[in-house]
Amino acid sequence: MSEHAKNIIAVGVGAAIGTISRYSLNLLTLESGYPYGTIIENLFGSLLLGFLTAWFFVFVPKEWVRTGLGVGLCGGFTTMSTLAADTSFLMNHYTVFDAGLYVFGTMFGGIILAFIGYRAGSVIAKKTRQKKEVNPA
């Protein structure tokens, strides 16, 4: 099987898992009337993608693993279109302040959590690599 085909399959599988996870989380938080599910998925997805990015600098995976987890899983789990729809909903049913707070918290929270995930991934990956160098299996 070609690398290109492996990447496409990995992205599809990752996206399916991410999308099903996103949908399930939204169902769990739907009754609140506020888009908590979208906030959680976008913030957690940012944290996870930051972590994976740093991890993959230290432990370089096969390309299909990187694309499957990054583009597929994280891309399928996070969502810009739902963010936009939820913002419109909040502007129509709550206040402009609520909508602005939602966008601000999601965007800046996502950037901050991506940075935290990157730092955590970097530290954990380096410690893991050091342990493997000291205690090879």
Q: How far is CA 38 from the centre of its chain?
A: 11
Domain containing 105 equals 3-134
pLDDT at 105: 94
The per-residue pLDDT for range 68-95, each reduced to its tens digit, is: 999 999 999 998 888 998 999 999 999 9
- At a CB cut-off of 8 Å and minimum separation 6, what does 11 contact? 67, 68, 71, 72, 75
Q: Consult the annotation and say whether 78 binds a ligand.
A: yes
- How many angstroms separate the CA atoms of 9 and 127, rounded? 32
What's the whole-number average pLDDT of the chain? 93
Q: Judge whether 75 is annotated as a binding position.
A: yes
pLDDT tens digits, 19-48: 999 999 999 998 988 899 999 999 999 999
What pLDDT score was predicted for residue 64?
97
Name the domain count of the chain.
Answer: 1
What percent of the chain shows pLDDT beyond 90?
A: 86
In this structure, is the dihedral angle defined by the CA atoms of residues 42, 47, 52 and 53, taken in order, positive or negative?
positive
Q: Is the pLDDT assigned to residue 137 strictly greater than 70?
A: no
